[in-house]
Every structure is written in C-alpha cells, then in structure tokens.
Structure 1
C-alpha cells in the first residue's frame, strides 16, 4: 500500500511507519520553592529539559500483523535507540513510558501506535544527518526481502518450496558456523551460532522471519541500557559495533557465494533473502561505530560496497526469472544502501585523522618510534606510544617486530 496522502515517513530501530502528527515538549527543569508568608515563589534552574517527543504513527499494508509484532519487539528492547523523526531528522531517544499499539476491526491492514520518547544527549556523538539514510535503506531492504519470500511461497509448488526452505536453513546454519571471530566480537559469535542451531522454519515466510530474527542480533551494540546497572552486577563485555558490522558483512558474503550453486530458483531466492538481511543489519551498525581513523571508515565503506555488489551479481539470474519483479526491488534497495553508506561515510572521512604507515627494518622499541613521530610535541608522546601499542599489538612494547606498523597521524 502506498503512503497515504498527508503522511510523512519515520523510522524507529529501522522499522518504517507513517506519521499523521507529532508533538515535542521543550523547556527548562525548574524547582519551585514556596514559603509561608511570602507571596512570590522562588525558582532554581536545573538545566535544560531532556525534551519529550510524542509520535502517533500508522503502519499500513498486507504484512501489518508481522510489522505490529516487530514494532512490539522494538519497544521491548532495552536502552536508547535511533529515531528518524519525520521533521527533525535522526535523534537518540529512550522510551519514556510503555507505548500503545492499536488494532481495530474497522481499520483493516492498519496498525496504529502512540509512543513518548525522551531525547538522550550523551553517549552518542557520532550521528550526523547522513546516517539517517542508511537506516532508511535498511528498511527498504526489509520490505524487499519480505516481498521476495512471499513470492517464493505463492509461485512454487508445496514440495519444492518445503525442500528449498530446509536446504536454505541448512546453508544458513553452516555459514554461521563457519564464521571466524574478529577483534572486538567478545562472546557474540557463540551466541549467534547457538541461535542459528535452532533455525528450523517450514515456510518461506517463516524462513524470512527466522532469518530476520537471527540477524537482528547484530543490533545488540545499541542494546546497552542507558540506566546504570547495580554496583554489584557483573558487566558482560559487549561486542563493538565495528565487530558486528564485520561479522554481518562476512555472513552476507558467505551466503551470497552459495547462491550460484543452489539447485533451484526458490533456493536462490531464499538465500538472497538471508544474505540481504545480514548485509542490512551489518550496515545498520555503522551509525553506532566510533571511527578512529579515515582508513577504518574507508575499509568499512569498501566492505559494504563489495558485499552488496556480490549479492547483486548473485541475484542476476533471479532478475530475469519467475521472481523478476521482487528481485529487481531487492537490487534497487541494495543500490540505495550503497549510495547512502557512501554518502554518510564520505561525510566523515575528511574529519577523521589519517593513518601513517612505517616500515621497520628490525625490532624497535615503540617509545623510539613514538618519539620519532611526536618529537616536536612532547605532550603528545605518550598518546602516540599508546596508539602504536594498541593498534599493532606487539608481544612487548619494547620490541616491535620488523615490518609494517600503523599509527594515527598526530
């Protein structure tokens, strides 16, 4: 269903909806003091009010029940999240009170909800306007893969689609099991493998829903509660957004590589659905990544573009087959993702420090290298030394091995 006239689109945790109206509260936090016998009250200014944003949203379409469940799951997730406000753009928010989701018999294929958010001003400084486009592209991919899985269900005989679902689920489980940990992934990969082991859908729509739930685990970087844990609680180390992006793109590339060898069009379509979900959820972590160098941002941009291009090439057969329309929608959404990721990262690459590459002819003390780089600025010597050690991970700082090392340009 096309967007209804007069509605403007917004996003919360990557879920798209239309907004008839919204209100925003702004002002100061004041404490009022009243004293007996004194007519005038006294006031203390406790700073700017965090701001409250109330949205009345509408989701319309054939998959409204699935989207209502996805919206409920998004509201139940802990911690702050990104809200793409239809007028004010991206903002970091936390749900101020339980949201209300409404379904009515007089409004078929319609989900209404009302939610009140408080804006969070701390702990998230890397978001610029360009990152909102990435989440919009992720939502487009979600819509495209839902249509593609529905097409597999409606245009395949029962036996063929059941076998395709079983084979594709096995391929996804194997691909997740073959993933290798990356720096900063903590205990995420074992949890993902454990979740994939129970992947056993029976229909194409069930396969898409199960894969969407599996890849949504890449969003755990944004699930750190904004409210501090108890003092005696043991804080579990979380995977970094950069690590989640790398793992998701690796999974997407692995699944894309299996499409050409799939035995039938339903298999190829379902594997394309799984690969697209992995690439989309990996890309959704980019706004949460604290890039420390232009080289890192370049590498992420190249990885996203490479993964998207691999999937586009792998689905070339579907574009001319029985799922031509839906496959074309998926390709278009992937192209949109490439454009948005490129635009967003290009916007910040020029603001990030460059990485120097040095070639050591023999074992060298890291302090000597730091003095060579920051010799004109003694105050920055220690910072350069720490960056050399953390970036190159030598067995001992006093003995950097011969070869290439990298360090941020001071």
Structure 2
C-alpha cells in the first residue's frame, strides 16, 4: 500500500513511520517569585527550555502487528535514542512520558501512536549526513524479511511449515549460544541468550515476531543511560553500539551459513528472514557509533558488507522456487542497505583521523614513540601516549615490543 498523500516519513530507533502532524514547544525556563504586599512578581531566567516534540505517527502495511510490537519494544528501551524528525532532521531524544499505541477495527492494516520526546545532549558524535538513508534501508529489509516469512503460511502445508518453524528456531538458538563476547559487549550476550531460549514459535508469523523481539535486543544499548543510577546501585554495563554491530553481523553470518544445508524451501525462507532481521538491527547501530578512527569505521564497513553479501548469496537459492518474488524483494532490500551503509560510512571515514603504524626495530618506551608522533605539539603528547597504551596493550608502557605499533594521529 502506497503512502497516503500528505504524510511525511520519520524514524525512531530505526523504525519507520509516517507523520500526519507534529508540534514542538519552545521557550525559556522561568522561576516566578511572589512576595506578600507586592503586586509585581520577580522572575529568574534558568536558561532555554529543552522543549517537547509531540509526534502523531501512523504505520500502514500488511505487517502492522509486527511493527507495533517493534515500536512498543523501542519505546520500552532505556536511555536516549535517535529520532529522524520529518522536518527538523536527526536529533537525540528521550521519551518524556509513556507513549500511546492504538489500533482500531475501522482502520485495518494500520497502527497509530502518539509520543512526546525531549531533546538531550549526549555527546553523540556521528559525522554522517546520510543517517536517514541507512535507517530507511534498515526498515525496508525488516519489512521484506517479514513478507518472506509470512508467505510460508500460505505456500506450505501445515505439517511442513510447523516442522520448518521448529527447526529454524533451533538453529537460531544454537547460533546465539555459539556467539563469543567481543570488546565492549558487556552483559549483552547473557540477555540475548535468555531471549533466544524463550523462543517457542509454532507458526511463521510467531517466528517472525520472535525474531523481531530477539533482534530488537541489539537496539537496547546507548553510550550511557540518560538517568543516572540510584546511589549505591550497581551501574549497568551497557554494550557499546560498535560491539553490537559486530555481534549482529556474526549472528547473521551463522544463520546464513545454515541456509544452504536446510532440508526444505520453508526452512530456507525462515532462516533468511532470521538472518535479515539480525543484520538489519546490527546496521541500525552504526548511527549511534562514535568512531574513534577511520580504521574502526573501515572495519565496520567491511564487516557489515560481507555479512550482507553472504546473506544475498544464500538467499539466491530461493529465487527460483515458490518464494521467488519475496526473495527478490529481500535481495533488493539488502542491496539498498549495502549502498546506504557504504555511503554513510564513506562520509564518516573521510572526516576521521587516520591510524598510523610505527615499526619498532627493538623494544622502545611508549613515551619516546609518543614524542615522535606528537612532534612539536607538547599539549597532545599525553593523549598520544594514552592512545598507544590503550590501543596496543603492552605488558609495560616503558617497553613496547619490537614490531608494528598503532597510534591514532591526533
């Protein structure tokens, strides 16, 4: 169904929606003082008001139920998130109050919601202006994956699709269980394993809903919670977005590898759906990633594009069968995702500092290497030394081993 006339598209945590209308409050924070016997009040100006952004959105399509669940999960996640405002562009916001999600019998295939956001400053440092394209491609892949899983119900007999759902869910659970922690992943993997073990789908639709919930876990991380932990409470060790991108791509790879060996077309279709959901949510973390160097952005680009290529090659086995149209739609969505991700990351890479490689002929003090790199800028000497130590992790900073040492050009 085409977008209705007059609607403009926006995104929240990578979920696309259309906006009939929106409003924003603006002003100053004032404190009023009233004194007995004095008619005029006194005022103190406490600065600019953060302002509230009210969005009335609508999601229209065949998979509105899965999108409603994804939207509910997005509203329940802690911390700030990115909102692509249809008129004001990208901004970091936090939900000001619980949102309202509604469906009505007179509006089939449609979900309405109303939410109030407040803009926050969280040190977000992404340099890309193409974030809207990346998030739009993420939403496109998610819809194509849901469409592929949905047709399994109509083009496979009940016994075959029930067995396919059980086998596919088992493969996804096994792939999640085999993931290895990466730097910055925190306690994310135990939570992901818990969600995977609770999966018990019996139909392709419930399998897709379970995958939306599982892959939605990748969107739960922010750089830091907006509301500080209570005094004495144990701080939450949130995963970093870059780590989530790596884990999501690895999970997509593991599921894609099982597509060729699947015993039937329904199995292959459901596994392609699972891999696509995981890859889409992994890519959705890129706009939240504060890349420290061009090398890190290059690594992320290579990782995500390789995972997309593997899934495209695996999904090719469905292009000549009963799911040809939906498989082609998924491949087209993945190609769009590759193009948008490459464009956004290439822009970021072009504006980030390079990582230098210094070849040491013998063990050397890190301070001497820092002095060589910092040159005539004594103010940056300590920052370079800290980067050398944290990036290369020597046994002792006074004795870097011979060989290649990497350092960020400040």
TM over 0.5: yes
Partner of 1:321: 321
Is the deviation greater in 73-82 or in 272-281? 73-82
Partner of 1:74: 74
- 1:298 deviates by 1.1
Deviations 1:4-30 (A, max 9, x none): 111112122222221111111112222
- 1:40 deviates by 4.4
- 1:128 deviates by 4.4
Partner of 1:209: 209
Partner of 1:307: 307
1:9 alignment partner, SS class: strand
Structure 2 counterparts to residues 17-166 of structure 1, below 5 A? 17-36=17-36, 38=38, 40-126=40-126, 128-166=128-166
Partner of 1:285: 285
1:363 alignment partner, SS class: coil
CA distance in 2, matches of 1:131, 1:62: 26
Query: Is the Cα contact below 8 Å between 2:75 and 2:95 reproduced in 1?
Result: yes
Query: Is the Cα contact below 8 Å between 2:222 and 2:239 reproduced in 1?
Result: no
Partner of 2:262: 262
Runs of 4+ that moved beyond 3 A: 33-42
Q: How many residues align?
A: 410
CA distance in 2, matches of 1:165, 1:105: 30
Query: Is the Cα contact below 8 Å between 1:80 and 1:93 reproduced in 2?
Result: yes
Q: Give unmatched runs, 5+ long, in structure 1.
A: none
Partner of 2:194: 194
- 1:297 deviates by 0.7
- 1:206 deviates by 1.5
CA RMSD across the alignment? 1.8
* TM-score normalised over the length of structure 1: 0.95
Q: Give unmatched runs, 5+ long, in structure 2.
A: none
Partner of 2:296: 296
Partner of 1:335: 335
- 1:61 deviates by 2.5
- 1:39 deviates by 5.1
Query: Is the Cα contact below 8 Å between 2:7 and 2:20 reproduced in 1?
Result: yes
CA distance in 2, matches of 1:24, 1:379: 43
Kindly tell me: are residues 90 and 257 of structure 1, through their superposed partners in 2, closer, same or farther at Cα, counting changes over 3 Å? same
Kindly tell me: are residues 128 and 42 of structure 1, through their superposed partners in 2, closer, same or farther at Cα, counting changes over 3 Å? farther
Query: Is the Cα contact below 8 Å between 2:128 and 2:345 reproduced in 1?
Result: no
- 1:327 deviates by 0.9
